[in-house]
Amino acid sequence: MLRRNIRLRREYLYRKSLEGKEREYYEKKRKIREALDEGKPIPTELRNEEAALRQEIDLEDEQTTIPRSLIDDEYANATLKDPKILLTTSRNPSAPLTQFVKELKIVFPNAMRMNRGGQVISEIVEACRAHDFTDVILVHEHRGVPDGLILCHLPFGPSAYFELLNVVTRHDIKDKKAVGTMSEAYPHLIIDNFTTKLGQRTATILKHLFPVPKPDSKRIITFANRSDYISFRHHVYEKHGGPKSVELKEVGPRFELRLFQIKLGTVDQPEAQNEWVIRPYMNTAKKRNVLGGD
């Protein structure tokens, strides 16, 4: 099994390495297309390849004309089935961390919570692959305060590492209207202000943790980016009479996330390549908004 996973990972990395060559080939076909559309001569450097390139162009359709990034292969089949998530913690979790993870289990549909015990990360990831889990979420703490969240997509990654801030469990929300029954319906998502390329990548990682909701679902999950701090909010709404009489109720939990690393691999692969990592100079005000500006 270990050799098979190593082989599959190697094949996956090889496909990703072809992206530059595919892009170069696409540019050649684009130049041929432009020359034919505008009635211009074929560029000199492409005349030896003209026949083969024109044959390729004739066989293309809307799906194959523009090559998509092979990084997207990580989520290519995400819409074919609902996500299946394993939630676990660092070893010997405190009572506040255990309570927080119990609430996260209901936040993410089709999630299963597992007591970590003495298991190492590699064993957890291997077991999840064997049982067709799509994601692993690990929650860490410092002195009883949840302070870290790792989202690991299976089978080959990516893994996103977040700092976890200002955690408020649902029963600690001061608004008396906030505490209510936690709905388990598939939620609608609001993903706001993820406008940069990194922001869109982060939004892709977050949104694929949730299945497609039914139109009549009254549950809303919000990820709102402000200055690279992602606010998570969880609401349900109720209609009273007309379309304008809608009551919004926060059911919790609430917290903030700050991305500090994305790795092109699973969480058990320390040798995996960094796709992005935060640098000290990014902490200054001028260098913020790497996920999206206001």
Phi, psi for 54 (deg, rounded to 5): -65, -35
Instruction: Give residue 36's domain range.
Output: 1-70
Domain-located, residue 102: yes
Angle, vertex CA 78, rays to CA 10 and CA 206, nearest 5? 95
Q: What is the pTM of this model?
A: 0.77
- Distance CA(185)–CA(75), nearest Å, equals 23
Question: Has residue 92 got a pLDDT over 60?
Answer: yes
Overall average pLDDT of the 263-281 stretch: 86
**58/103 same-domain check:** no
Domain count, the chain: 2
Overall average pLDDT of the 88-116 stretch: 93
Angle, vertex CA 81, rays to CA 78 and CA 84, nearest 5? 85
pLDDT band for position 13 (cuts 50, 70, 90): low
- Distance CA(107)–CA(79), nearest Å, equals 19
Q: What is the CATH number of the domain that holds 149?
A: 3.40.50.10480
Question: pLDDT per residue over 15-55, tens digit each?
Answer: 666 666 776 777 888 888 888 888 888 888 888 888 888 88
Q: Which pLDDT belongs to residue 261?
A: 96
Q: Which residue has the higher pLDDT, 107 or 237?
A: 107
Determine what percent of the chain is predicted with pLDDT higher than 70.
Answer: 81
Take residue 99 and report the two structure tokens written for it.
Answer: 């309570």
Question: Has residue 71 got a pLDDT over 60?
Answer: no
- Distance CA(291)–CA(14), nearest Å, equals 28
